[in-house]
Amino acid sequence: MGMVAALQRDLKPEYLSRPWRYFVLGGLFTFYFVLMFEGLKTANPVSAAAVFTLMPLMSAVFGWWLLRQVTTSRMALALGIAACGALWVIFRGDLAAMMAFDIGRGEMIYFFGCIAHALYTPMVRKLNRGEGAAVFTFGMLVAGSLILVVVGFDDIRATDWTALPAMVWITIGYLTLFSTASSFFLLQYATLRLPSAKVMAYSYLTPAWVMLWEIGFGSALPPAPVLLGIGATVVALLMLLRNET
């Protein structure tokens, strides 16, 4: 991201001023990723993806609180449908589990991480002072990396990096290029141009993509009730992405 920002000639001194902004964003970013990895130790992947789809609803709340972005009635309806669909997937279509609020520890940990991610989206626009998406992402990544090094210093020092298998390095490379740098660059690019709720609306596709990846890796097709919940989130996405009149 530093190279991209440099090639775009965006690394200007005025853009790197007020570095506390990048540490606020980097802190939210780090909090989300740490809790995501902790939660995924025990959470079911499809259920975790459904938790992720609750973020547009939370982003709409934070967007109104920080930026006074108004959610129209159709957007509110779509967010409500998607939230119900996500909860249906989380509880695997089991009404008894839903009534008993039987949710796993991993999903709950990840949910708190998603709150930080939902707050991150409107905070990007709140703290931006005219910087391009590349330089803003670069500043956030540097600050987040510094925070993570401090928090995880003992674990980093204790790890035998030379003994890690190749798959670990491949996974780290994928997370670096796609799950972190590319995705957050695109997220910040969109956040500077669209309402927070609409930006996060694309997360409604996450459970469907996770389900397809799981099937591709040999898992069985989820039961019909779970598919109904995923279908509801897709319908909500189409409602959200429609232009307002």
* pTM listed for this prediction: 0.73
Asked if 55 and 187 touch (Cβ cutoff 8 Å), the reply is: no
- Assess whether pLDDT exceeds 60 at residue 18: yes
Asked if 20 and 199 touch (Cβ cutoff 8 Å), the reply is: no
Mean pLDDT, the chain, whole residue set: 83
What is the percent of the chain where pLDDT is above 70? Answer: 94
Crossing angle of helices 20-39/133-151, nearest 10°? 60
Give tens-digit pLDDT for 211-225.
Answer: 788 888 887 777 887
Give tens-digit pLDDT for 118-148.
Answer: 998 889 889 988 888 788 888 898 999 999 9
Q: What is the pLDDT of residue 23?
A: 95
Give tens-digit pLDDT for 46-76.
Answer: 778 778 777 878 888 888 888 887 777 887 8
Which among 57-66, 181-190, 236-245 has the top mean pLDDT? 57-66
Run of H or E residues at 73: helix 73-90
- Assess whether pLDDT exceeds 70 at residue 243: no
Q: What is the pLDDT of residue 1?
A: 81
9 burial via Cβ count (<10 Å: 0-12, 13-18, 19+): exposed
Q: Which two tokens stand for residue 101?
A: 């609020």
What CA–CA distances, in Å, run from 66 to 62, 70, 120? 6, 11, 11
